[in-house]
Structures are given as C-alpha cells and as structure tokens.
Amino acid sequence: MYRNLGGRPGAVLAAVAVAQFVVALDMSVVNVALPAIRTALGFAPLDLSWVVHVYALTFGGLLLLGGRACDLYGRRRLFVLGLVIFGLCSLAGGLAQTPWQLIAARAGQGLGAAAAAPAALAMLTTTFPEGPQRTRALGVWSAVNAAGGALGVLAGGILTQYAGWRWVMLVNLPIVAAALALVPLGVPADPPPARREKPDVLGAVLATGGIGLLVFAVVRGDSPGWASPATLVTLAAAAVLLAAFAVTESRTPAPLLRLGLLRSRWIAGANVLVFLAAAGQFTAFYFVSLYMQQVLGLGAAATGAAFLPFSAGLVAGTIAATRITSSRSPRVSLVPGALLAAAGLAWFASVRADGSFLADVLGPSVLTSVGTGLVLAPVAAAATTGVTPREAGMASGVFNSSRQLGGCVGLAVLATLAAHHTGAATSPAALNAGYALGLAVTAALFLLAAAVAIAVLPRHCPAPPTPRAAKPAQTQLKGTPSA
C-alpha cells in the first residue's frame, strides 16, 4: 500500500499542512487588495471581479480531474507539480503589468491548487490509517485550512497598506518553497502502478466543462441577472454536461468518478454537509467583513485584525473536534458544532448600524468560529471513511469540489439576496439590513447541515480494516506511535 514506501507521517502532515495553508490563504488574501489592483493596472470596473472569479472557476472546475489524476499518476507527483505551478503563477501575478497578465496568473494558480489540494488530502488518508491517527491528522489539516482562509484577510490588509498589492501574490512564494522543501524529508515516493489505466478523457472533459460552466453561471449570475437568458442558458448547458458525465461514468471501465462511491452514506452525507457548511462559512465571512468596513468604518488592516478572534476560534474548534471524535462517530461533533455555528450566526444577524466591534462582532465571532471548527475536521474524516487507497484521490476531489462549489454558490446567491434587499440605498442602515438578512440565511444553512448529519450519517463508525495475517506490515504506519 502507498503508506509503506518509506514515508514519515510527520513530514507528510507538515508538507500537507503548509500547502493547504497557502491554498486557503490565496482564496481570501487578494480580496482586500482589489481597489489597489484596479488603480495600479487600470482594470475596467466590470473586469476587476475576474481576479477573484477566474481562480474560483479553474480551481472548482478542475478539482475532480485533479483528484483522479492523483490516483492514476501518483499523489506525490501531483502534489509537487501543483505546488510548482501555483508558485510560478504567484510570481507571474506579482510581476504582472497588465490586467490580462494578472488574470492569466490567477487562472494558473487555480490550476495548481486543483492538483495540489486533492493530492494533499489523499496523501493524508493513505498515510494515516482510519481511526484516531487519521482523525488527528485531519484535525490539523482542517485547522490550518481554516486559519489560512481567515488570516488571508489580515495578511491582505497589512500587505496592501504597508508593502503594496503585489505582495499579496508574492507572499505565496516562501510558503510554497517551505512545502516543497518538506517533500524529500519524508513524503513517500509514488508506488509503481499495478496496471496502467487509460485516463477517462471524455469524463474529464464533461466534468470540467459542466462544473466550470456551473461556477461561471453562479459567480456571474448577479451581473446579467439570475433570470436572464445568458444565465439560464449557461446553467442548462452545465446541467446537460453533468448529466452526460453521470451517464459516461456509469459505463466506462475506469471512471473519473465511480458513482458507487456516492452510495456510501458517509461520503454522500459528508459532501452534502460540507456544501452547506462552506456556503454558510464563506458567505458569513464576506458579510461580516463588509459590515466592519462599510458600516463600522474600519480600515482594511483593522478589519483583518478584527478577524483574529475568529481564526483562534476556528483552530480551537478543530482541536476540540479532533479530541471528541478520536474514538467516536463524527456525528458527535458535527451536530453540536453546526448548531453552535447557527446560534452564532443568528446572533450576528442582530447587528446594528450604530454598533461596535465589541458589542456586535466579538461575541458572535467566537461562537460561530468554534462551532464551524467543530464541523470542519470531522466532516473531512467522514468524507474519507471506508475509502480504499486506490480511490483516495477520487474521494478527495469530490470533497474539495463540494466545498468549493458550496462556497461559490452560497456567496453568489446570498450576496445577490442582500443586494436586492438593500436596493440602491448606500446608507449604513440600509447596508446593515442587507447584511443582517444574509447572515440570518447562513444560520439556516447550518441548521440544515445539522439535520443532514442527523438524518444521513450513520450513528457508528465502521470498524477499521483488519490487518491481513500474511502481510501485517501493510497496515502499520512506519514510525508512527500507536493511538
């Protein structure tokens, strides 16, 4: 098995954590710098959003393909290749002189992330056996992922204000270099494939096209209008391609996604749950950031600093979830975590136009972040429960796709809902009313996530695979202490 090829679990976890941090950081660090980027490079107002959208489009559209490529061509190879592409494109973005150069660089970053992110999660699930060891490893992965996204706002504000917007791209380089330096220290070499499978080219084209069109329709739906012919035609085309993909995968001998994988209650439930949680988490992050800047009047750096309690709560929640679920079903943490996050967001929905950070942000930030942290680690464990090593990349790609799509869909739909509620008014009171409505809906999303965890996920974890008597070394982690 993959984890028997001389790898050191500690080095694998460190490399994966650093890589996941930079991928998560890049999803939020650019947002604060957008006004400075527009001024420096001369972006047209309608084109500026593509600095964010093109990353989401390539990342979300290629995740499923990246996950399957890990299984076919090697997780370490895809992990290193993805990081190299991500780093080179970050350098290109930092040196960009025209809008198209920056947009191309952001697309390349999404491509690199789509290879590295599922490879990283697959490396964890094939290195750490199912049970307490994997739960602890996924807890670290989830905490770092959450911290990277939250700290991106702080880093973006500080770098833009004191070093210049180019550093929101260049800051990725030393982090990528650190992750690559950890690979030869203990990440195992890829095993020779037992048999060379032909890649599912048709499935890759259909999946990438379908998911890409879906993300495109969602992130641009508020511009021409959700009921406009352009949006409806794009959504219909995405549905046709994804339906064709499902038919193709049911017939091909080496599918990009084995549909039987989704018959597992663990995998299906975890992917629905992470879709809802990501929709709520990303959208809440967006609304709270706007509330602090446009209603409370905080600057970019101060807004980033105000998210530090949120980051600390996410880390604390994931650590607590790891300890709670080390020998129990993920449901034990998922249900109370989702309910706690829903309570925090309901508290957030009572924000006032004449409020303050201490009265309106700090308390609900802590409650929401701890609850979200209690969800993040166990949902990743649930999504990989019962998955064989040869399909670890496939399951990781599906999980990352669900998370990315949840964030894109949730943010696009709820941002439009809040904007329609606000209308043309720009006063703090009007903006506050729109943000409060959006935050109330995110609370409902976490309530629905708790219901999914109760109704779909099994009450008890399956017993981990029993080691074979003839090959006991295949299920033991070399150099890993017993749980």
Q: Each residue of 251-307: pLDDT tens digit?
A: 887 787 888 888 888 899 999 999 999 888 888 888 888 898 889 988 777 877 888
Q: What is the pTM of this model?
A: 0.80
The residue among 385 and 115 whose pLDDT is bigger is: 115
Mean pLDDT lowest for which of 52-56, 166-170, 193-197, 219-223? 193-197
pLDDT at residue number 208: 82
pLDDT at residue number 272: 93
Mean pLDDT of 224-249: 87
Answer yes or no: is pLDDT of 30 > 60.
yes
Answer yes or no: is pLDDT of 131 > 80.
no
The one-letter code for the residue type at 448 is L
Answer yes or no: is pLDDT of 412 > 50.
yes
Mean pLDDT lowest for which of 194-198, 222-226, 249-253? 194-198
pLDDT at residue number 8: 84
pLDDT at residue number 20: 86
Q: pLDDT tier at 194 (50, 70, 90 boundaries)? A: low
Q: Please state the separation of Cα 24 from the chain's center in Å.
A: 7
Mean pLDDT lowest for which of 17-21, 260-264, 420-424? 420-424
Do 384 and 256 meet the contact criterion of CB atoms below 8 Å apart?
no
Do 179 and 235 meet the contact criterion of CB atoms below 8 Å apart?
no
The residue among 236 and 376 whose pLDDT is bigger is: 236
Q: pLDDT tier at 482 (50, 70, 90 boundaries)? A: very low
Q: Mapped to the 3 state alphabet, what secondary structure does the chain carry?
A: CHHHCCCCHHHHHHHHHHHHHHHHHHHHHCHHHHHHHHHHHCCCCCCCCHHHHHHHHHHHHHHHHHHHHHHHHCHHHHHHHHHHHHHHHHHHHHCCCCHHHHHHHHHHHHHHHHHHHHHHHHHHHHHCCCCHHHHHHHHHHHHHHHHHHHHHHHHHHHHHHHCCCCHHHHCHHHHHHHHHHHHHHCCCCCCCCCCCCCCCHHHHHHHHHHHHHHHHHHHHCCCCCCCCHHHHHHHHHHHHHHHHHHHHHCCCCCCCCCHHHHHCHHHHHHHHHHHHHHHHHHHHHHHHHHHHHHHCCCCHHHHHHHCHHHHHHHHHHHHHHHHHCCCCCCHHHHHHHHHHHHHHHHHHCCCCCCCCHHHHCHHHHHHHHHHHHHHHHHHHHHHCCCCCHHHHHHHHHHHHHHHHHHHHHHHHHHHHHHHHHHCCCCCHHHHHHHHHHHHHHHHHHHHHHHHHHHHCCCCCCCCCCCCCCCCHHHHCCCCCCCC
pLDDT at residue number 223: 66
Distance between CA atoms of 410 and 423, rounded to whole angstroms?
20
Q: pLDDT tier at 197 (50, 70, 90 boundaries)? A: low
Mean pLDDT of 56-65: 82
Taking Cα atoms as reference points, which of 4, 33, 11 lies closest to residue 164? 33
The one-letter code for the residue type at 364 is P
The proportion of the chain whose per-residue pLDDT surpasses 70, expressed as a percent, equals: 90
Distance between CA atoms of 433 and 353, rounded to whole angstroms?
8
The residue among 116 and 390 whose pLDDT is bigger is: 116
Answer yes or no: is pLDDT of 50 > 90.
no
Please state, rounded to an integer, the average pLDDT across all residues of the chain: 83
Answer yes or no: is pLDDT of 367 > 90.
yes
Answer yes or no: is pLDDT of 477 > 70.
no
Mean pLDDT lowest for which of 121-135, 230-244, 426-440? 121-135
pLDDT at residue number 370: 93
pLDDT at residue number 9: 86
Mean pLDDT of 214-240: 80
